[in-house]
Amino acid sequence: MLGNLKGLMVTFATFFRKPVTYKYPQEHKPIEDRYMGFPVLMWDEKVEEPYCTGCMVCVRYCPTQCMSAVMKDNPLHAEGKSTRRKIVDSFEINLGRCILCGICVDVCNFDAIEMSHEHELSKYARNDNRTNLPRLLEMGRSYQKESGWKPKPVKETKPEPETKTEEAVEAEN
Partner 1 sequence: MVDLSTEGQLDTVQMMVNMGPQHPSTHGVFRMVLWVDGERIVDLEPHIGYLHRGSEKLCEGELYVQIVTLFDRMDYISNLNNEMIFCRAVERLMGLAVPERAEYIRVILCELNRVASHLLFCGTFGIDAGAMTPIMYAFRDREKIQSMFEAVTGARMMHNYIRIGGVKGDVPDDFSQRMGALLKVLRQGINETDKLLSFSEIFLARTKGIGVIDAETAIAYGMSGPSLRACGVPMDVRKDEPYSVYDRFDFGIPIGEKGDSWDRYYVRVEEMRQSMRIIEQALEQMPDGPTITPSRLVLRPPQGEVYVRGENPRGEIGVYLVSNGADKPYRVKVRPPSFCNLMAIKELLKDTYIADAVVILGSLDIVLGEVDR
Residue ranges binding ligand SF4 (CB under 6 A): 39, 52-58, 62-64, 66-67, 69, 88, 93, 98-104, 108, 110, 112-113
Site string for partner 1, 12-51 (x = CB under 8 A): --------x--------x-xxxxxx---------------
d(CA 76, CA 70): 17
Candidate ranges 45-53, 66-74, 132-140, 163-171; the one touching partner 1 (CB under 8 A): 163-171
Nearer to ligand SF4, 7 or 102 (CB): 102
Query: Are 110 and 51 contacting, i.e. CB atoms less than 8 angstroms apart?
Result: yes
- Rule CB under 8 A: which residues touch partner 1? 1-4, 6-7, 9-11, 20, 29, 31-36, 61, 63, 99-103, 106-107, 115, 160-161, 163-164, 167-168, 171
